[in-house]
Chains A and B, each alone.
Chain A
Amino acid sequence: NAGVTQTPKFRVLKTGQSMTLLCAQDMNHEYMYWYRQDPGMGLRLIHYSVGEGTTAKGEVPDGYNVSRLKKQNFLLGLESAAPSQTSVYFCASSLQAGAGTDTQYFGPGTRLTVL
């Protein structure tokens, strides 16, 4: 089991460019999440999905779009990158157990710099 994998690991963009981050999980998890991590702010939820074909907004969704066309994949898109989107992005997935027991498993992260 690879668990949760993220592609790419690093990326540098210029302002206005677009890109897609790919998250894949091989644990047959229903729920998937995208977070961004910034110093002193912990992790903030961007978007999440409770199943194939569904997505929902998190705490900081502006400037991002997502898609969940296949259960194992969750894509995060930046249509027009801005320097404020420089961050480390983490994907996570969970089984959809009861709220008390559901554990999120995290990928290794993608470090994105927008110049």
Chain B
Amino acid sequence: AQSVTQLGSHVSVSEGALVLLRCNYSSSVPPYLFWYVQYPNQGLQLLLKYTSAATLVKGINGFEAEFKKSETSFHLTKPSAHMSDAAEYFCAVRAIKAAGNRLTFGGGTRVLVKP
């Protein structure tokens, strides 16, 4: 079964600093990988996804993620944090032949941005 680990349930960054959120998956076959963002009291919104094309994926709001097969990782970064980036971020995986295209989510990382 697929599993996803997000290192750090809370991350605090200063405005303008680098944002780095870590995601590792467990699978013998590289799955499809996703990052979602959840703003307070809202549903989840897709940030970006890896679908076996380019290993560096660019998403919305200046975020990007790099797929590293050797490290089974898909870490999310943003060069310069903005106050509006305060939210919870979820990494998710989908097996290549997942029934119903189902996703498995990590535990989430809540980002606090300090002025």
Contact = CB atoms under 8 A, between A and B. Distances in A.
Contact of A96 (B46, B99, B101): B101
A50 B52 CA distance: 24
A74 interface: no
A45 B93 CA distance: 13
B97 A99 contact: yes
A90 B43 contact: yes
A40 B100 contact: no
Given A42-B90, A44-B105, A103 B46 contact: yes
Contact of A41 (B46, B96, B97, B107): B107
Interface stretch (A14-22, A78-86, A105-113): A105-113
B103 A45 contact: yes
Contacts of A59: 104
B44 interface: yes
Given A40-B108, A42-B108, A43-B90, A102 B44 contact: no
Interface of B: 4, 6, 9, 32, 36, 41-46, 49, 51-52, 90, 94-108
Interface of A: 4, 31, 33, 35, 40-45, 48-50, 56, 58-59, 90, 92, 94, 96, 99-104, 106-109
13 contacts: A41-B107, A42-B106, A43-B103, A45-B103, A48-B102, A49-B100, A50-B100, A99-B98, A101-B49, A102-B101, A104-B101, A104-B103, A108-B41
